[in-house]
Amino acid sequence: MARGVFSQSRNLGLFREAVCASFGVRHCFFVSSGRAAMTLILRSLMVLSNRRKTEVIVPSYTCYSVPASIRKAGLTVRVCDVDRVTFGYDLRRLERMDFSNVLCIVTSNLYGIPDDLSAIERIATRNGILLIDDAAQCMGGRMDGRFAGTFGDAGLFSLDKGKNITTIEGGIIVTRFDGMADALRIECERLPGSDLTRCAVNFLKMILYAAFLRPGLYWIPNRLPFLGLGTTVYTEEYPVEKYQAFLAGLGVRLLERLREINLVRMGNAQFLLKELKGTPFLVIPEVPENTSPVFLRFPVRILDEERRARCISELNRLEISASPSYPGAVNDLPAVRKDLSEEESLLPNGRALARQIVTLPTHPYVHHDDLVTMVDVLRRECA
């Protein structure tokens, strides 16, 4: 880490080359966060489209940073309902939407489970609109042999805390297209850099986050509010800045281990899939065909809200970081709701997922005993 401070330019170049080689893309850009990456992509798409269209379609259940980034870019959020089984778009509803003023569609790939990206790409192409493949939670996941994040016109990965690999903060933008890259390059060159104080704070955050990842110490980072773990707040107030280049050395080393890290996550998820199958009041995820998920978290749906609350409480008491994920549907966010049609404001499936989903940790510090504890609690409380 210290060496990275003195070889920032070299490490950033190595990181860029590694990302392009790993995901088979021509161009790669680094910014301060996944949210900033989304904002910059949207600004670039507006320039390329001569600002003729102003609407962006998002799933009714996704990370709040997505609608916040759209509004921050000066665009309007449109909402399409999700499928309760796959958590991705309800494709039949998506196909029926009015695309006359739509700039682009944004995918979600929640919890490291790729959407049906091939189908979404076909819908976008058929309707002459653009596609942003948001793989903030799905670095390394594949659909039809292609990496999530590489579908459509541009994609992004997040390097924030809790992602497939983390440098504490940062976002990666990738694209295969030269014209898109030219527009992104102009936007990135305009970005301000971070001040020295923020760089020092991120250095400290990295040390603390690494020290307290082990399951027996989960409670420590969860009680350090400046780490921002496990919080979901809608806000359009976030910096859109250059990536802190001293973090790139860590990024290069972790990217080399991405496959190894994801294999552990997938193994942990397979254990949970097998052991939780058939549990009453509990629905395990169904993965689309031709998909290779990486399970950043393992999501389950608990159909009874009281049982769900007991599961979360008991797992956290036992120092397992169970999370209710996003607290509400995108169409219920006040900043979004005011611009929606009546039909979009009533979409039900995102609301249902917000009431039902619990996500469980899968990262390499989760041990077999932790997995057994998760299964025991969920079986007992959902019986």
Q: Is 243 within the bounds of a domain?
A: no
- Amino acid identity at 30: F
Which residues make Cβ contacts (< 8 Å) with residue 135, sequence separation at least 6? 107, 109, 141, 147, 148, 149, 155, 156, 157
Q: What pLDDT does 199 receive?
A: 54
Q: Looking at the chain, list the stretches that DSSP marks H as alpha helix, in order from N- to C-terminal side.
A: 2-5, 8-23, 34-48, 65-72, 91-95, 117-126, 178-189, 196-211, 219-222, 248-256, 258-276, 305-317, 334-337, 342-345, 349-356, 368-381
- Amino acid identity at 230: G
Q: Give the pLDDT mean for 318-338.
A: 95
**How far, in whole angstroms, is CA 286 from its chain's centroid?**
18
**How far, in whole angstroms, is CA 55 from its chain's centroid?**
21
Q: Is 358 within the bounds of a domain?
A: yes
The strand pairing partners of 357, in sequence order, are 301
Do residues 141 and 280 share a domain? no
Q: What is the pLDDT of residues 346-373, one digit of tens each?
A: 999 999 999 999 999 999 999 999 999 9
Do residues 309 and 177 share a domain? no
> Which is more confident, 70 or 10?
70
Q: Work out the pLDDT band at 4, boundaries 50, 70, 90.
A: very low
Q: Quick check: 149 and 27 in contact, CB under 8 A?
A: no
Q: Quick check: 82 and 101 in contact, CB under 8 A?
A: no
Do residues 6 and 113 share a domain? yes
- For the chain, how many structural domains are there in total? 2
Final residue before a domain boundary, out of 189, 204, 222: 189
Q: What pLDDT does 187 receive?
A: 96
Domain containing residue 110:
2-189
Q: Is 335 within the bounds of a domain?
A: yes
Q: How confident is the prediction for the chain on average, in pLDDT?
A: 90
Q: What is the pLDDT of residues 39-88, one digit of tens each?
A: 999 999 999 998 889 999 999 999 999 999 999 999 999 999 999 999 99
C-alpha to C-alpha distance for 288 and 116, rounded to whole angstroms? 7
Q: What pLDDT does 205 receive?
A: 57
Do residues 146 and 31 share a domain? yes
Q: Tell me, what CATH number does 295's domain have?
A: 3.90.1150.10
Q: Quick check: 218 and 319 in contact, CB under 8 A?
A: yes
Q: Tell me, what CATH number does 185's domain have?
A: 3.40.640.10
Do residues 370 and 267 share a domain? yes
Q: What pLDDT does 168 receive?
A: 87
* DSSP 8-state secondary structure symbol assigned to residue 41: H
Q: Is 354 within the bounds of a domain?
A: yes
